[in-house]
Amino acid sequence: MNYEAVIGLEVHAQLQTTTKIFCGCETAFGEEANTRTCPVCIGMPGVLPVLNRKAVEYIIKTGLATHCTISPFSRFARKNYFYPDLPKGYQISQYELPLCERGHVEIVVDGKVKRIGLTRIHLEEDAGKNLHTSEAGASLVDLNRAGTPLMEIVSEPDIRTADEAAEYLKKLRSILRYIEVSDADMEKGNFRCDINISLRPAGVKEYGTRAEVKNVNSFKFVQKALEYEMKRQAQVLDDGGKVVQETRLFDSAKGVTFSMRSKEEAHDYRYFPEPDLVPVAITAEEVAVIRATIPELPDAKRERFVKEYGLPDYDADMLTQSRALAAYYEEAAKLAGQPKVVSNWMMGELMRLLNAENREIEDCPVGPDRLAAMIKMIESGVISTKIAKTVFEEMYRSGKDAEAVVREKGLVQVSDTGAIEKIIDEVIKANPAQHADYKGGKDKLFGFFVGQVMKASKGKANPEMVNDLLKKKLSG
Amino acid sequence: MDLFSLTMHEISDLLKKKETTSRAVTESVLARIASVDERVKAYLTVTADAALAQAEQADRERSSGTTSPVLGVPIAIKDNMCTEGVRTTCASKILGNFIPPYSATVVARLQQAGSVMPGKVNMDEFAMGSSTENSGFMVTKNPWDLERIPGGSSGGSAAAVAAGECIAALGSDTGGSIRQPAACCGVVGLKPTYGRVSRYGLVAFASSLDQIGPITKDVTDAAILLNIISGHDERDSTSADVPAPDFTKSLVRDLKGVKVGIPKEYFIEGMDPEVDRAVRSAVKTLEGLGAMVVDVTLPHTGYAVATYYILATSEASSNLARYDGVKYGYRASGAKDLLEMYTKSRSQGFGPEVKRRIMLGTYALSAGYYDAYYKKGQQARTLIKRDFEEAFRRADIIATPTAPTAAFKIGEKSSDPLQMYLSDIFTISVNLAGIPGISIPCGFTAGGLPVGLQLLGRHFDEASILRAAYAYEQATDWHKKRAKL
């Protein structure tokens, strides 16, 4: 049968506050185990949590950037369960009254804008980490991460395909980075995703039974897990079976999901209002102050790029994925004065080189001023576009500017008629048979001659002049 | 003169006049502990050497001009308040080896003011109980009759004060745990308004009800100690950012124009007639001091015990989850896997009353029962709070017995938890409402057991109950009697 997937995602993003959510400990990665801890985040008897207001500010900022309603009155709750990495035996989270509700983000799929609803965004603390050692029978616990502020972003079941899911996650990550509340780096584990997915026969309104796939930690895995689940659930339904409501895990090595626990054995978290924290009251004035700190967001920037620089949607979308990339573009475009050419260079050579090394635009050795200067050298005919590719790569490798590269490597374009004619004469002389064939009507051989001339000039000959002069000489 | 039998303000006067030293007072208290604690069993940990060092330090500070009403005064600390470097057990085997790396805010404030800590005193395990029989280590005895309970859960604090094993003490009160033992031991016990005193470092039983307060030999000492421990603490979000007045200023002898409310729901059938008589007579004395007695009603009183045992146990079930054998405290040996480590450690580490309450609270919070129990309990709590708001429209303070009976015999109620829970019937509503309450001695039974009068006030109006308590105390001699040991 033909099924439609109904997908909702829960994203946990770590907030980039300098201290933890309920104590003054530093939030830090890769430190020696249990060195970023204090009695509060270790869960000593008698300690009490004190809310980090910065974390509240960041989550409100996120709510505003995703069109949420900010609750004037919000409360924390305890989620009770036993696990060694959870020092208090409960996680302080939010349950009944989250900080943000009812928002949305927009994604572009197949050239169409689609709105994905957000149910809620709430604040909670992260747990520590269990370390399983080679020591017989012993496990260790590192609580450096315990108490790191997380926000949980829960989407409506508005997503229908794996591609939409990936676009949604990318957009979310892009927004979080724009407003500088989270690195949203999946590889570092500070952007994690739980998937809820069910199938229903195409055209049917009611939801099917859903499965939850927990803790999927890369965009690619989210897509893979979804594709697998769609196939698996479709098979179950086609065979006349029923999808079991359960929690599953994704095995990234095998590309499959497998059952972790069913609903019958699901945790009863015994949520109740956290008595150690007073409810959070947010005034309209506070919201206004936070709203004023929100920069131009990706959607608005994309639209502006289309309008202001005459870029196609695709270019504008790519170039606004991060604030740094967009800023680089605007700087280079301003200096070079050729917006589309700059876009082509960035989306072509620049991205190719960065991606090959897994580098971010922030670490690009070629600054926007240097890219612009190089483009100007093309415009003024000092180098050819073809040579420019070599020049650019050399700039990227050596950290030198275009002028220095061109000078040192002698890559200045040859635009001297006499010099080019000399090369052409030699090429024609060396290839009499081809010359004869050309004259006999084999026009296609023109390309061959251009290639030979360019090769002989080491690519430096001005291509336009080569074209003009070759035509004359070959028919002469 | 036995220094150990004096009040804090009396000792402070002697110290000021250089008629004694903190060292001498501390030695007197330590000697008293050495001679009577074998019988009273108030102390879980005696820190004699540290106490003497603190006393000498206090004497040096005094000679260099420092003063404070508790400078050099030995004050015992209930064993559920964290003391850096000193074992803090909550009278539970599960924390039998726990030495905190930090001090509770109240402990730090006392230390800053220069007080001496002779040691940590016994209690019902995790403050769950009304007799100190639930201690995981030993039963504390009532200094007035060693066959009887000292009350609880701050039984160690009250017994130590009554026996002269300290000059004053700190207790904690979740449902009456300061006031009821104070009544049983013939001393003064004050539970401040919820939020008046920081809970940071107080090992939590029920977070929305717990409050630390003084247990002292008279009302003046209670006011002095409250001055030192109260005030906002940035480490406790539930500690109120309200100005704390100088409570000793409210200690005046007359009660002209003060309206004292008498709630009929607190004079019930089944109450010990001797207690009834003593409390009614105390009300007459208040009238004689100029107070106006008015009838008030607290109609939801009948729901208080049930409400309390749902809410307090719910919070406790969560608060006590951290004792899992992973990070500190007791870990059972021989567990084959994680689940077994948890169940064995907790089964062996917790006593029966604690387990009972953890199970009760876990049940009350469970999916499908939450609305019927926890949520209902919160609604009932609101009604009980409103009862008091209404009553305080008619009265400035409310007078009731602290407990329905005087101290009962050890073992008398320990096999019947429900009977035991009723010991707190007059004190529990006060925690649910969050208002302040004080218990002061108001007479003795024919058998020579102390009886307590409870005075209740509006939120953050400790001043009014301290004033009435002080006026009553000055008009009577009960507080001057000392248990013979």
The predicted-structure confidence for A410-442, as pLDDT tens digits, reads as follows 777 777 778 888 888 888 888 888 888 888 888
* Site from B99, B198, B341, B365 to mutate, A interface, most A CB atoms within 10 angstroms: B365
Residues A279 and A322 in one domain: no
Can you tell me whether residue B95 is helix, strand or coil?
helix
Question: Is there a contact between B237 and A270 if contact means CB atoms under 8 Å apart?
Answer: no
Cα–Cα dist B402/B36, whole Å: 27
Query: Quick one: pLDDT band at residue A217, thresholds 50, 70, 90?
Result: confident
Residues of A within 8 A of B321 (CB-CB) are 80, 82, 88-90
Instruction: Give me the helices (H) in B324-461, please.
Output: 338-349, 352-365, 376-394, 417-421, 428-433
Q: What is the pLDDT of residue B119?
A: 98
* Site from A22, A23, A25, A44 to mutate, B interface, most B CB atoms within 10 angstroms: A44
Distance from CA of B351 to the nearest CA of A (A): 18
Cα–Cα dist B8/B215, whole Å: 11
B376-385 pLDDT tens trace: 999 999 999 9
Q: What is the pLDDT of residue A263?
A: 59
Q: Is B229 exposed, middle or buried (0-12, 13-18, 19+ CB in 10 A)?
A: buried
* Site from B322, B328, B345 to mutate, A interface, most A CB atoms within 10 angstroms: B322
Cα–Cα dist A48/B239, whole Å: 11
Can you tell me whether residue B473 is helix, strand or coil?
helix
Question: Which amino acid would we find at residue A219?
Answer: F
Q: Phi and psi at residue A247, in whole multiples of 5°?
A: -100, 130
Long-range contacts of A377-382 (CB under 8 A, 24+ apart): A377/A402, A377/A403, A377/A406, A379/A338, A381/A413, A381/A415, A381/A462, A382/A406, A382/A412, A382/A413
Closest Cβ opposite residue A89 in set B101, B206, B321: B321
DSSP string computed for A282-320:
--HHHHHHHHTT----HHHHHHHHHHHH---HHHHHHHT
Cα–Cα dist B188/B476, whole Å: 14
Residues A233 and A358 in one domain: no
Mean pLDDT (whole number) for A263-289: 90
Mean pLDDT (whole number) for A16-32: 92
Tokens of residue A171, six digits = 């957009």
Cα–Cα dist B436/B465, whole Å: 8
Q: Is A193 exposed, middle or buried (0-12, 13-18, 19+ CB in 10 A)?
A: buried
Distance from CA of B100 to the nearest CA of A (A): 8
Which of A258, A290, A322 marks a domain boundary?
A290
Which of A290, A320, A347 marks a domain boundary?
A290
Residue A132 scores a pLDDT above 90? no
Whether ipTM > 0.85 holds is: yes
Residues A204 and A256 in one domain: yes
Give the Cα-Cα-Cα angle A51, A52, A54 (nearest 5 degrees).
140
**Residue B275 maps to a domain:** no
* Site from B198, B319, B336, B342 to mutate, A interface, most A CB atoms within 10 angstroms: B319
Q: What is the pLDDT of residue A262?
A: 63
Which is it for strands B188-191 and B437-444: parallel, antiparallel or unpaired?
Answer: antiparallel
Q: What is the pLDDT of residue A264?
A: 57
Closest Cβ opposite residue A277 in set B237, B314, B315: B237
Residues of A within 8 A of B375 (CB-CB) are none
Q: Do B399 and B279 contact (CB within 8 A), yes or no?
A: yes
Residues A400 and A427 in one domain: no
**Residue B296 maps to a domain:** no
Residues of A within 8 A of B327 (CB-CB) are 42-43, 87, 141
Q: What is the pLDDT of residue A265?
A: 62
Q: What is the pLDDT of residue A374?
A: 84
Residues A258 and A370 in one domain: no
Partnered with residue A243 across adjacent β-strands are none
Query: Quick one: pLDDT band at residue A266, thresholds 50, 70, 90?
Result: low
Closest residue in B to A92 (Cα–Cα): B318
Number of domains in chain A: 3
Question: Is there a contact between B328 and A44 if contact means CB atoms under 8 Å apart?
Answer: yes
b vs e for B131-151, b when ≥16 Cβ sit within 10 Å of the residue's Cβ?
Answer: bbbbbbbebbbbbbbbebbbb
A347-375 pLDDT tens trace: 988 999 888 888 889 888 888 998 888 88
Residues of B within 8 A of A43 (CB-CB) are 322, 327
The residue range of the domain holding A278 is 3-290
Cα–Cα dist B437/B429, whole Å: 10
Tokens of residue A379, six digits = 């415009």
Q: Phi and psi at residue A21, in whole multiples of 5°?
A: -75, -30
Residues A363 and A265 in one domain: no
Which one, of B139, B159, B48, B45, lies nearest residue B96 by Cα?
Answer: B45
pLDDT, chain B, mean: 96
Question: Is there a contact between B237 and A43 if contact means CB atoms under 8 Å apart?
Answer: no
Residues A270 and A302 in one domain: no
In the residue annotation, B153 being an active-site residue is answered as yes
Catalytic residue selected from B22, B135, B153, B414? B153
Closest Cβ opposite residue B326 in set A80, A84, A276: A84
User: Positive or negative, the Cα torsion across A217, A219, A223, A224?
Assistant: negative
Cα–Cα dist A55/A15, whole Å: 7
Q: How many residue pairs from chains A and B have C-beta atoms closer than 8 A?
A: 103
Q: Which residue has the tokens 């009273």?
A: B40
Question: Is there a contact between B207 and A278 if contact means CB atoms under 8 Å apart?
Answer: no
Q: What is the pLDDT of residue B32?
A: 98
**Residue B171 maps to a domain:** yes
Residues A236 and A349 in one domain: no
Residues A284 and A137 in one domain: yes
Q: Which of A41-50, A360-369, B77-86, B118-127 has the weakest average pLDDT?
A: A360-369
Catalytic residue selected from B177, B239, B250, B345? B177
**Residue B80 maps to a domain:** yes
Closest Cβ opposite residue A43 in set B202, B327, B365: B327
| B235 shares contact with chain A (CB less than 8 Å) | yes
b vs e for B279-310, b when ≥16 Cβ sit within 10 Å of the residue's Cβ?
Answer: beebbebbeebebeeeebebebbebbbebbbb
Residue B78 scores a pLDDT above 60? yes
Mean pLDDT (whole number) for A128-151: 87
* Site from B86, B95, B208, B324 to mutate, A interface, most A CB atoms within 10 angstroms: B324
Which has more pLDDT, A307 or A381? Answer: A307
Residues A49 and A166 in one domain: yes
Residue B283 scores a pLDDT above 70? yes
Query: Quick one: pLDDT band at residue A136, thresholds 50, 70, 90?
Result: low
In the residue annotation, B237 being an active-site residue is answered as no
Which has more pLDDT, B415 or B373? Answer: B373
Count of Cβ atoms closer than 10 Å to residue A261 Cβ: 13
Which has more pLDDT, A434 or B13? Answer: B13
Residues A137 and A156 in one domain: yes
Number of domains in chain B: 1
| Portion of chain A with pLDDT greater than 90, in percent | 52
Which one, of A457, A456, A455, A462, lies nearest residue A384 by Cα?
Answer: A462
Can you tell me whether residue A98 is helix, strand or coil?
coil
| A272 shares contact with chain B (CB less than 8 Å) | yes
Q: What is the pLDDT of residue B482?
A: 93
Residues of B within 8 A of A88 (CB-CB) are 321-322
| B77 shares contact with chain A (CB less than 8 Å) | no
| A118 shares contact with chain B (CB less than 8 Å) | no
Cα–Cα dist B240/A447, whole Å: 86
Q: What is the CATH number of the domain that holds A450?
A: 1.10.10.410
| A49 shares contact with chain B (CB less than 8 Å) | yes
Q: Phi and psi at residue A434, in whole multiples of 5°?
A: -65, -35
Closest residue in B to A82 (Cα–Cα): B321
Which is it for strands A112-125 and A149-155: parallel, antiparallel or unpaired?
Answer: antiparallel
Which is it for strands A129-132 and A139-142: parallel, antiparallel or unpaired?
Answer: antiparallel
Cα–Cα dist B165/B33, whole Å: 5
The residue range of the domain holding B43 is 3-254
Partnered with residue B433 across adjacent β-strands are none
Q: What is the CATH number of the domain that holds B142?
A: 3.90.1300.10
Residues A397 and A437 in one domain: no
Closest residue in A to B363 (Cα–Cα): A270
Which of A290, A306, A334 marks a domain boundary?
A290
Cα–Cα dist B244/B226, whole Å: 9
B220-261 pLDDT tens trace: 999 999 999 999 999 999 999 998 899 999 999 989 999 999
Partnered with residue B142 across adjacent β-strands are B145
Catalytic residue selected from B41, B78, B141, B217? B78
Q: Which of A117-126, A201-210, A416-425 has the weakest average pLDDT?
A: A416-425
**Residue B16 maps to a domain:** yes
Residues of A within 8 A of B206 (CB-CB) are 275
| B82 shares contact with chain A (CB less than 8 Å) | yes
Distance from CA of A133 to the nearest CA of B (A): 15
**Residue B346 maps to a domain:** no
Which one, of A297, A329, A336, lies nearest residue A311 by Cα?
Answer: A329
Task: Scan residues 344-403 of B and list those with Cβ closer than 8 Å to A.
Answer: 362, 365-367, 370, 374
**Residue B199 maps to a domain:** yes
Query: B198: which residues sit within 8 A by CB, 6+ positions away?
Result: B104, B105, B106, B212, B229, B231, B232, B233, B235, B236, B239
Using omega within 30 degrees of 0 as the cis cutoff, is the peptide bond preceding B153 cis? yes
Which has more pLDDT, B26 or A252? Answer: B26
| A39 shares contact with chain B (CB less than 8 Å) | yes
